[in-house]
Structure 1
Amino acid sequence: MAVLPVPGGAQRIYCYAGCSTCRKALRWLQDQAIAYEVVDITSAPPSLEELSQALASLGDRQRLFNTSGLSYRTLGSAQVKALTDAEALEALAADGKLIKRPFLITPGGEALTGFDPQRWSEALRQSAP
């Protein structure tokens, strides 16, 4: 699957303004001099194509879900487990609050959910031109 292009070669990062982990990730990207474009995950969640790509990269759909969020708790873990992959991706695309954030897909096609500076450094370094 192709990575959706971002103007100017920047990283597209899906965040929620009220999320301290997202703010840490954005500060880290700035400190690393990595260009990025912020997309509000609640008003413009990742597309089905991006979520499918992330699922293929992560290999475990549970890693896509923000299990500590209200949307997830409302839906319920039993309901999430009962969903097919296609249904899970549809639910994620419909409600950005269900998605573990921050969320980005590297130019090399690797999905990153949550923020781990070491993991991000490795993934973004590998995908650098």
Structure 2
Amino acid sequence: MTANLYGIPTCDTVRKARKWLTDNGIDHQFIDVRENTPPKSQIDHWVASLGAAKMVNKRSTTWKNLSDAHRAEAETGDTTAVLLANPTLIKRPVLEYGNVLDVGFSVDAYTHHFQ
């Protein structure tokens, strides 16, 4: 089974996750969300499963440049629409592997997911 890893290639956390997957022989595909934004249905699933708070990257430059109205929409309104319009707001990396859906990277979590 192939793991799908979503993010942007310049993100340090994404780089760490990709390196860990490669170093541990995990078959994976990297999807750059800037070039291949996931479809609405997929982002809807992520938000419904993990919650808006976990899916929105509030440390990103994009977040800092959003208007207050768009920030409010991302937090309590149509989070998916805001993420579709601003894919760099998606917290990263997003890992999909079988029944696993996770955001961020930690060695412990990835070791658990792939044992």
* Percentage of matched positions with identical amino acids: 24
Q: How many residues align?
A: 115
CA contact (8 A) 1:44 1:96 kept: no
Contact 1:69 1:97 in 2 (8 A): yes
- Return the match for 1:116 from 89, 96, 106: 106
TM-score by length of 2: 0.84
Tell me, in whole angstroms, the C-alpha distance in 1 between the residues paired with 2:61 and 2:3. Answer: 27
Q: CA deviation at 1:73?
A: 1.1
CA 1:82–1:17 in 2, change beyond 3 Å: closer, same or farther? closer
1:63 to 42, 54, 57: 54
Give yes or no for the alignment of 1:41 onto 2:33: yes
- Could you tell me the TM-score, scaled by structure 1's length? 0.76
Corresponding residue SS for 2:72: helix
Q: Does 1:106 align with 2:112?
A: no
Alignment match, 2:6: 14
Cα 1:124/1:45, change in 2 over 3 Å: farther
CA RMSD of aligned residues (A): 2.2
Residue 88 of structure 1: aligned partner: 79
SS at match of 1:22: helix
Please list every run of 5 or more consecutive structure 1 residues that lacks an aligned counterpart in the other structure: 1-8
Q: Is the 1:64–1:113 contact (alpha carbons within 8 Å) kept by the matching residues of 2? A: yes
Q: How far apart, CA to CA, are the structure 2 residues paired with 1:76 and 1:121?
A: 39
Where in structure 2 are there 5+ consecutive unaligned residues? none
